[in-house]
């Protein structure tokens, strides 16, 4: 006699294509990360002030990225690599930068993705 298959309520949920997950509204996140900002100075010490500084620095960084749009930027990478390209945009997690006209020792790459982990610093003229 043919066996009947076990029924399931639904299939497991797959990844969200637009985010890396770790929903900050999940009960576990709320319970275990009341403030998701780790303090550099240990317990209790001026969390508010640190939070304010961090927000300011973050905002400054994001504004820098906006200002960089369509401008030529010099990138200092590991292994002494220095390249120049026109900055397009960053991805949401600042893992990759989309650039165009990337000047490399072997020619100009029309469109490219630079990995942020490979960068030490970058600079541009405001």
Q: Return the range that interacts with another protein (CB under 8 A); candidates 3-11, 43-51, 74-82, 105-113.
A: 3-11
Cβ closer to another protein: 61 or 71? 61
Nearest to residue 119, comparing CAs of 109, 99, 108?
Answer: 99
CA dist 87 → 57, 80, 106, 108 (Å): 21, 20, 19, 14
Residue identified by tokens 């969390």 is: 47
Q: Return the range that interacts with another protein (CB under 8 A); candidates 5-13, 44-52, 60-68, 69-77.
A: 5-13
Kindly state the DSSP code that residue 23 receives in the 8-state scheme: -
Minimum CB distance to another protein, residue 70 (Å): 26
Q: Return the range that interacts with another protein (CB under 8 A); candidates 14-22, 55-63, 72-80, 98-106.
A: 14-22
CA dist 57 → 60, 61, 74, 93, 96 (Å): 5, 6, 21, 16, 20
Structure tokens at 26: 């999940």
- Report the site for another protein in 90-119 (rule: CB under 8 A): 93, 95, 115, 117
Distance between CA atoms of residues 85 and 54, nearest Å: 29
- Kindly write out the interface string for residues 30-49 of this chain, putting x where it contacts another protein by CB under 8 A and - elsewhere: -xxx--x-------------
The residues of the shown chain that bind another protein, judged by CB under 8 A, are: 1, 3-16, 20-24, 26-29, 31-33, 36, 93, 95, 115, 117
């Amino acid at each position: 006699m043919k066996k009947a298959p076990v029924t399931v309520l639904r299939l497991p949920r797959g990844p969200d294509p637009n985010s890396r997950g770790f929903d900050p509204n999940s009960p576990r996140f709320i319970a275990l990360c009341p403030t998701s900002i780790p303090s550099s100075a240990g317990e209790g010490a001026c969390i508010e002030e640190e939070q304010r500084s961090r927000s300011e620095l973050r905002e400054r960084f994001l504004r820098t990225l906006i200002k960089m749009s369509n401008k030529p930027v010099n990138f200092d990478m590991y292994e002494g690599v220095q390249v120049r390209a026109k900055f397009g945009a960053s991805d949401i997690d600042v893992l990759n930068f989309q650039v165009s006209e990337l000047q490399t020792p072997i020619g100009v790459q029309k469109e490219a993705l630079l990995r942020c982990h490979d960068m030490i610093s970058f600079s541009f003229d405001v």
